Amino acid sequence: MAGAAANMLPKTEPCRSPIFDDSDWYAAQHMPATILQILEENGVYPNLYYGMNLTAPGDLWKQEWWYRTTFTPPREREVYSLIFRGDQLRAEVWLNGHKVANRAQVVGMYNRFEFNVTEFIQPGSNVVAVKVTPDGSCWGNRVSSWETAGWTGSTGNISDTTTPQNISTFLSLPDRNAGVWKRVYLSSSGAVTIRNPYVATDLPLPATSPASLTVYCDLTNNTSKPVTGALIGRSHVRASRRSNPENGLAGAGRNPRSGDCSGDATPLVVI
């Protein structure tokens, strides 16, 4: 993202607006990146891992932060989706001034989120803004939930020497690893999107040969009309074609209809 990590969150929150001027923001040298990483790379907190420098930023996790960038989408596509691989810990997503998702929908640093943004995409330059909430209110200086689970030291204080190292280290980070710390993608496609492909291997155990390989994936019709077509897969051994024109994916409306591409589950390859 071109601009990231505003120092203070404006009361009017204009950052989501397409015409907002982010020229005085800290630039993200590369993405993904946490708040602390961006500030360090911009010279705000240099040499963080020398001596006691890591204490200089203070409690960055006690405020919210914005990420913002512009992009130009491919033209003449039917469906556009924003895909987030991971944000810490909560986030709001805005596209061209329209709210795509709120902080109750985007939760968890290891969760993947995908949003259909076709109605908000415009020709030419588009602006995506993400407000990150570290959600520090759930940690505090005494982490009650971890204390209850027996994960903190005997005193319940994060500085207690009996606190497990990975937990105390995390709690001592000024930003608690907050930020857009996994990649963000714009997907553009036809009416049907293909997601989550994987290969299942079936072995005649205890023998390990032959191996039957079957390819699966999720198909979603993102339009309000029924769609039929053929899904073609190619391997190094041979090509396989899956087609069910009489059993196409129904129109999505507000709830996309999904299916899988395994067809009759006949193995694609036997080796």
pLDDT tens digits, one per residue of 145-173? 444 444 444 444 444 444 455 555 556 68
Report pLDDT for 176.
86
pLDDT tens digits, one per residue of 175-192? 888 899 889 999 999 999
Spatial distance between the Cα atoms of 261 and 269, rounded to a whole number of angstroms: 15
Highest mean pLDDT among 28-32, 156-160, 262-266: 28-32
Which band of pLDDT confidence, cut at 50, 70 and 90, is reported for residue 238?
A: low
214 vs 245 pLDDT, higher one: 214
Using DSSP's 3-state secondary structure scheme, residue 214 falls into strand
Q: What would the two tokens of residue 145 be?
A: 């939930």
Please state whether beta strands 90-95 and 126-133 pair in parallel, antiparallel, or not at all (unpaired): antiparallel
Using DSSP's 3-state secondary structure scheme, residue 98 falls into strand
Spatial distance between the Cα atoms of 67 and 242, rounded to a whole number of angstroms: 42
Domain positions in the chain: 3-134+175-187, 191-270
- Choose the weakest-confidence range: 49-58, 107-116, 179-188, 243-252: 243-252
94 vs 254 pLDDT, higher one: 94
- The CA distances from residue 111 to 16, 61, 67, 217, 260, in Å, are 23, 20, 19, 19, 22
* Contact call for residues 161 and 153 (beta carbons, < 8 A): yes
Spatial distance between the Cα atoms of 173 and 177, rounded to a whole number of angstroms: 7
Q: Which amino acid is at 77?
A: R
Q: CATH classification of 3-134+175-187 is 3.40.50.1220, yes or no? A: no
Please state whether beta strands 3-4 and 26-27 pair in parallel, antiparallel, or not at all (unpaired): antiparallel
- The CA distances from residue 134 to 62, 165, 192, 228, 241, in Å, are 7, 21, 35, 44, 46
pLDDT greater than 80 at residue 7 = no
Report pLDDT for 12.
52
Mean pLDDT along residues 206-219: 89
170 vs 18 pLDDT, higher one: 18
Using DSSP's 3-state secondary structure scheme, residue 113 falls into strand
* Contact call for residues 4 and 67 (beta carbons, < 8 A): yes
pTM: 0.75
pLDDT tens digits, one per residue of 122-131? 999 999 999 9
